[in-house]
Amino acid sequence: MSATIIDGKQLAQKKGEMIKTALERLKTQGITPGLAVMLVGEDPASETYVRNKQRACERMGIHSRLIRLPTTATEQHLLDHVVQLNEDPHIDGILVQLPLPVHISTETVIRAISPEKDVDCFHPLNVGKMILGETGFLPCTPHGILVMLKEIGVTLSGKHVVVVGRSHIVGKPVGQLLLNEDATVTYCHSRTENLSSFTKQADILIVAVGRANLITEADVKEGAIVIDVGMNRVNNKLVGDVEFASVRDKAAFLTPVPGGVGPMTITMLLENTVYAATKARAVMA
């Protein structure tokens, strides 16, 4: 069997059209949602991601503002900017690109972002609401994955989802989102013993570790759905955490890297920005 490749780029475009319609409606009410992105330092991967986010905003007609700070910026300096953005009526969403330099506390900076403008859904208040299944922001990458799974029409209720990785940005929240969809969720991570014995049980395998080719065909059940969240640069080429060529012959569905989860992440960020704007300005999108 050769897996159906889930085209994240195409799906992101399709969802993008819907967001565009909402934006046009907002425009007629004189509203242009605004997103502020803060980038500290010069990490080349972060530069690429931020550029992609900005381009997406431009394409959609979302006002975007990039705030660049040098690696040497102090935590207070960053916090001052966050406070300013919290109060800025033109800004509906604030995203602080991670990772931050080690001398800055990520936790402190994220807590400083107004929960109403937290389009990443990283603030503890929004994380809590998400876990409780309350309405509000959903984290971008996990939400993008959920949308992909819904698009292929899989029933999530009762399915065994195995998540490899427990980061605050992908692993932990994606498991919680799928738990809310009545999936049975197993978390694996760097300390898991006999990883393969778990991954082979997965109906849906989500890999978000950051290690090229960690998962091979031997780790996957025949007919599984495999979602690859990895972004690894190997010999100047972007590859995921899943060995694409071999897993493709065993899985029923597989997401590519690039062109899978990445583009969906950006589209969900735009959706959150529009959501923030409609909430803040008490209008219907």
Ligand X SMILES: Nc1nc(=O)c2c([nH]1)NC[C@@H]1CN(c3ccc(C(=O)N[C@@H](CCC(=O)O)C(=O)O)cc3)C=[N+]21
165 is in an annotated binding site: yes
Which C-beta is closer to ligand X: that of 199 or that of 265? 265
Which letter, b or e, does each residue of 121-133 get, where b requires 16 or more Cβ atoms within 10 Å of its Cβ?
Answer: bbbeebbebbeee
Residue in 202, 191, 129 with CA at minimum distance from that of residue 162: 202
d(CA 48, CA 54): 10
Question: Which residue among the candidates 53, 172, 221, 250 is catalytic per the annotation?
Answer: 53
Q: How many residues does the chain have?
A: 285
- Of the residues 92, 97, 176, 241, only one is catalytic, namely 97
Strand partners, 64: 35
Cα separation, 224 vs 161, in Å, equals 10
The residue type at 95: L
CB nearer ligand X, residue 31 or residue 177: 177
* CB 63, CB 90: distance < 8 Å: yes
Shortest CB 4 distance to ligand X, Å: 18
Yes or no: say if 188 and 195 are a contact pair by the CB < 8 Å rule.
Answer: yes
Rounded-to-integer distance, Cα 230 and Cα 220, Å = 16
Asked if 97 is an active-site residue, the reply is yes
CB of 28 to ligand X, least distance (A): 30
Give kind and range of the element (H or E) at residue 161.
Answer: strand 160-164
> Which residues of the chain form contacts with ligand X (CB under 6 A)?
48-49, 52, 95-98, 120, 140, 231, 238, 257-259, 262-263, 265-266
Shortest distance in whole angstroms from residue 258 CB to ligand X: 3
Nearer to ligand X, 160 or 168 (CB): 168
By beta carbon distance, the residue nearest ligand X is 262
Spatial distance between the Cα atoms of 134 and 130, rounded to a whole number of angstroms:
6
Q: Where are the alpha helices (DSSP H) in 61-170?
A: 75-87, 106-112, 124-132, 140-151
**76 tagged catalytic:** no
Catalytic residue among 120, 203, 219, 241: 120
- Shortest Å, Cβ 261 to ligand X: 7
Least gap, CB of 53 to ligand X (angstroms): 7
Q: Which is nearer to ligand X, 25 or 101 (CB)?
A: 101
Pick 52 or 184: Cβ nearer ligand X: 52
Q: Which residues are paired to 227 by β-bridges?
A: 206
Letter string b/e over residues 191-212, b meaning 16 or more CB atoms within 10 A of that residue's CB: eeeebeebbbebbbbbbbbeeb
10 catalytic? Reply is no
Q: Which residues are annotated as a binding site for NADP(+)?
A: 165-167
Q: Which residues are catalytic?
A: 53, 97, 120
